[in-house]
Structure 1
Amino acid sequence: MMQNDTQMRMSELAEQSLIGKHALVTGGGSGIGLAIARALLKQGVKVTITGRTEGRLNEALQQLENEAATAGVGATVMAVVMDVSDAESVRQGFAQARANMGEIDILINNAGQAGSAPFLKTSVEHWQQMLSVNLTGCFLCSQEALSAMIKSGWGRIINVASTAALKGYAYVAAYCAAKHGVLGLTRALAVEVAQKGVTVNAVCPGFTETDIVQEAIRNIVEKTGRSEAEARTELASANPQKRLIQPQEVADTVLWLCQPSSAAQNGQAIAIAGGEVM
């Protein structure tokens, strides 16, 4: 009887944890995506990181494996080269991930790209690029992952949006439009799958210490002649805490949304911005 009780308790704990789940993280080679992958691995999740740049992905993969070895924990992680804006690349990337680690239980749509231009100087090509990477990528990846989630009766889709999904910023109309679209997609899909054991949420970081922000800082320096420190201060000024968000802060929120105990969180847009958006 004691052995049966122990087995039942272990089974209950497994159901309440993420151990053995398979997560795919787009844009997982750096910044927020890498921080999310790291956080999931620490919870016993099998992780596939994807991105367009093989060298960066391999560096991230080596880093994650080394960290796991140093911590003395087993980590199951792989890297897949994939362009989220290309339907065939997404199909092949997901097929490769499934072949190695099974169906996707958790999808983190993190891949994104930002570019700035005055509205009247925004080209159609720039507009389409922002939509393709930031919005269409979420659509394509979610379509690839959702069927298996519905079949198993459990799944998590988390879209890394931005405060640009919740408000407007000058000179990034295309980016804001795309991120607002991500939030619309999040809410519509969340309602559609609400009774199927799948939740769909968005996290909306403010200016975060990532490559995208570094590029924004370089642009400010080049176009205005300000120093890097002045440019950084300008970006941080939108946050009432007067600082940039750290990738780990975003990862912690994503990890919470992944938990089985967060099943009531659905269709939400959680701002991680020190009070910039309330």
Structure 2
Amino acid sequence: MRIEVLGAGFNSAGLRDGVARAPEALRRAGLIAGAAAHHEVRDAGDVDFSEPVPRRGEVSALLAEEALTSMARGVRQRIETILAEGGFPLLVGGDCAVLPGALHACRAVHGGVGLVFVDGHEDAWPPADSTTGEAADCELGLALGVTAAHVGPELSPVLRPAATALLGPRDGAELAEHGVASLRGSLWFATDRELTGRIAAAVADAVATVERSAPRWWLHVDLDVLATDQLAAVDYPQPGGLRWEELTELTAIALRRPGCAGWSLTIYNPDLDEDGHEAARIVRYVEDALSVVPSGSVAT
């Protein structure tokens, strides 16, 4: 497997700091060397996009609308090239708004796409109802067509519920408080509590469900699926969450599946990690997850 590490330092708040600095901070912490411990790895650099402006767009109701669409277009183009050349993309955000471009790229190259989505949040807020205005609140809903932003083809629907699995959310009470419909019941779904003690069985079932509808699929991991005592350098901590060992097991099982076409990793804020120990732990997670994936086992 030839892994292509691509940075997309986008912050949906319309800022150039916070999670926007994650690709640089993780590279500095040894991400490339960690991934290369067991596989051929190339650093593919970073996606370029227009300067973000922290103002809600008139069309999308999302912050940094122009930068968002520019970034999504750049991610799609870069991931399409990596996939077409037989590489396995490891897309490092930034935040979850990097995901739709990757999904569109995967569909363009493989003719279809599914998603195994690992996140502490459901990320399906209607943009106008988002309390933050951040696209990272909304990207899964946009990809499913549950909501719409009406800007750019890279933010148009690309997923079918039958080809989507959501693992680890724990924001149900917040959604209910704001009258936002949960995705539960419309796709494969397991909260953090429902995963605990049955990671292997749950991931196997989730992947099998996705693969019945989309033989090629994307793995997305938002690190706020972890408990705060496991990773504190995230912008929106919540009670509950997975442990590193559980997330590593989950990720490794998914990566070993031949249908996994790429992997995105998001929501690490180096501004909340002054001594860099959280970055080092993320790098170890990447290395550990990849260490059990035989070279060449991921389809290209």
TM value normalised by structure 2:
0.38
Structure exhibiting the larger radius of gyration computed from Cα positions: 1
More helix by share: 1
TM value normalised by structure 1:
0.40
